[in-house]
Structure 1
Amino acid sequence: MDMKQGPVKMEVFKLEPGDIDHLFRRSGLTGNPLSVFRYNAEQAAVTSPSARFKTLTESPAFQTIARQLLEPDLKISFHTGGANAAEDQYYALLSKETSTVLAQFSSAEGDLLLLYFPGEKAFLEWWTGTYASPGMDDYPALFGSGILESEVLICALHCVDMYRRFYLESMLDYRGVVDVAASSADFGQLLKRALASGDKRWLLPALVEITPGLKSIPIALKPEHMQKIEELGFITSKDAVFTLAERSRLMGTEFISAWMNATGWQASALIKGEERSLSRVFLAVTAFTNHLFSFETGSGGEGRFRHQTANASELAGTLLQWTTALRRAVPAGAGPQRNFCGQCGGKISPDKKFCGHCGAAL
Structure 2
Amino acid sequence: MNTENPGSVELFKLAPADIDHLYRRSGLTGNPLSSYSYHAEQAATSSPSELFKPLAESANFASIAKKLLAPDLKMEFKRGGAGSAEETYLALLSLGDNDVLAHFIGQDGNILLLFFDNEEAFLQWWSGIYASKAASTYQPVFPDVMSAEVLVCALHCIDIYRRAYMESMLDYRGGLDLAISTQNFVQLLKRALSSQDKRWLLPTMFEITPGLKEINIALKPEHIKKVQELGFLTGNENPLTLGERARLLGTEIITGWLGSIGCQATALINGQEKSLSRIFLTPTAFANHLFSFEIGAGGDTRFRHQASTMPELIQSMMKWIEALQKVIGGTSPVKPAKGETPAMKFCGQCGAELKLGKKFCTKCGIPL
Paired letter, 1:38:
S
Tell me if structure 1 keeps the 8 A contact 2:182–2:237.
no
Deviation (angstroms), 1:344: 11
User: For 1:314, which of 290, 312, 315 is the aligned residue?
Assistant: 312
Deviation (angstroms), 1:88: 0.5
**Within-5 A mapping of 1:161-310:** 161-310=159-308
Q: Secondary structure at the match of 2:258?
A: strand
User: For 2:328, which of 327, 330, 351 is the aligned residue?
Assistant: 330
> What do residues 186-216 of structure 1 show as CA deviations (whole Å, max 9, x unaligned)?
1111100000001111000011111111111
Q: Secondary structure at the match of 1:260?
A: coil
Q: Secondary structure at the match of 1:142?
A: coil
Q: Secondary structure at the match of 1:51?
A: coil
Q: Secondary structure at the match of 2:210?
A: coil
Distance 2:5 2:250 in 1: 34
Paired residue for 1:107? 106
Q: How many residues align?
A: 336
> What do residues 109-161 of structure 1 show as CA deviations (whole Å, max 9, x unaligned)?
221111110111111111111110011111111111x1100000000000000
**Within-5 A mapping of 1:54-203:** 54-144=53-143, 146-203=144-201
Distance 2:328 2:50 in 1: 36
Deviation (angstroms), 1:52: 1.2
Paired residue for 1:44? 43
Distance 2:162 2:3 in 1: 36
Distance 2:294 2:236 in 1: 33
Query: Cα 1:344–1:103, aligned 2, differ >3 Å: closer, same or farther?
Result: closer
Paired residue for 2:31? 32
TM-score by length of 1: 0.89
Tell me if structure 2 keeps the 8 A contact 1:133–1:286.
yes
Distance 2:224 2:237 in 1: 14
Paired residue for 2:345? none
Query: Cα 1:239–1:114, aligned 2, differ >3 Å: closer, same or farther?
Result: closer
TM-score by length of 2: 0.88
Q: Secondary structure at the match of 1:229?
A: helix
Q: Which has the higher contact order (CA 8 A, sep 6+)?
A: 1
Tell me if structure 2 keeps the 8 A contact 1:5–1:313.
no
Paired letter, 1:81:
G
Deviation (angstroms), 1:44: 1.6
Tell me if structure 2 keeps the 8 A contact 1:235–1:245.
yes
Distance 2:318 2:63 in 1: 21
> What do residues 324-352 of structure 1 show as CA deviations (whole Å, max 9, x unaligned)?
111111136xxxxxxxxx9699xxxxxxx
Paired letter, 1:194:
A
Tell me if structure 2 keeps the 8 A contact 1:4–1:313.
no
Deviation (angstroms), 1:7: 3.9
Q: Secondary structure at the match of 1:263?
A: strand
Identify the range of structure 1 (314-323 vs 4-13) with the bigger mean alpha-carbon deviation.
Answer: 4-13
Query: Cα 1:209–1:239, aligned 2, differ >3 Å: closer, same or farther?
Result: closer
Distance 1:11 1:165 in 2: 45
Q: Secondary structure at the match of 1:60?
A: coil
Distance 1:271 1:239 in 2: 45
Distance 1:63 1:255 in 2: 44
Distance 2:286 2:29 in 1: 46
Query: Cα 1:198–1:5, aligned 2, differ >3 Å: closer, same or farther?
Result: farther
Aligned-residue RMSD, C-alpha? 1.9
Deviation (angstroms), 1:239: 4.8
Tell me if structure 2 keeps the 8 A contact 1:8–1:125.
no
% same residue: 55
Distance 1:170 1:197 in 2: 22
Paired letter, 2:53:
K
